[in-house]
Amino acid sequence: MTLVEHDAELPAGSPAPDLVQQDAVAELRAHRLGGFSRRERVAVLVLGIPAVALTLTRGPMLATAVAGCGVLLVGRRGRLLGLGAISLCVIALIALWPTITASQVYQDRLTNQENVQGRFLLQDWSLRIAAEKPVLGWGYQSFDRVKNESDFPTGGLPPSYVLDSTSHDSYLTVLVEYGSVGFLLLMLPWVLLTVRGIRAMPRFPDQQWLLGASVASVAVVLITGATLDYRFFSFALMVPWVFLGMIRRVIEP
């Protein structure tokens, strides 16, 4: 039920429409934004971990681990439980580490030094290219073209490390193609609303889990963006805007 519909159902001459609107806002906050129980939220968090692991992609794994720890530590009452869960995960990781390091996935994905060196070289070139047009950048979809036309030093590495690869950092891609102006237009709403959401948690104890989960979801997208290029996963960029909208709905009902 929307505020307008709620207000429209009042008898003629009702003396307290503001109270009805306040009640409707409280109803929206309690049911539409916070309708899931804590147990359901934890279950979703736990079930999502195997799904992330199956992507075999380092960036999302790291981002989810960092954000998940934050979510577990949001509420004061559940902080001890969250610390216990994090401790169990660390112990399990230490116990399974020999098995993990011996696996084919680990050898192919996490110890590939050639891949890591190529990434660092590509980042260096991206910063050099962005510095040549720092304000408005080189234009839409110009990253690969400008990169392949550049002739920066490779530090003794084969040029193919850069020329045969594309950007693996969404923010460097934005910086190269749209300059500092485009970078700020992208990042400012994310950062400002996320900070406001964190600061609002003590003022909305009944919505701490929602605010914490929303902030963590934005954090996952932000951290992951530094390890891959969202040009190839553009649908994922709707996620932070959805959760930023939820944050704003809570703090500005």
177, two tokens: 């193609």
Mean of the per-residue pLDDT values of the chain: 76
pLDDT in tens, 9-67: 444 444 443 443 344 344 444 444 445 676 776 777 677 767 666 665 667 777 777 77
**What's the whole-number mean pLDDT along residues 75-99?**
74
Res 164: pLDDT: 78
Residue 114: what pLDDT? 66
Each domain of the chain, given as residue ranges in start order, spans 113-251
Most confident option among 61-75, 95-109, 187-201, 225-239: 187-201
What confidence category does residue 127 fall into, taking pLDDT thresholds of 50, 70 and 90?
very high
User: 51-66: per-residue pLDDT in tens?
Assistant: 666 665 667 777 777 7
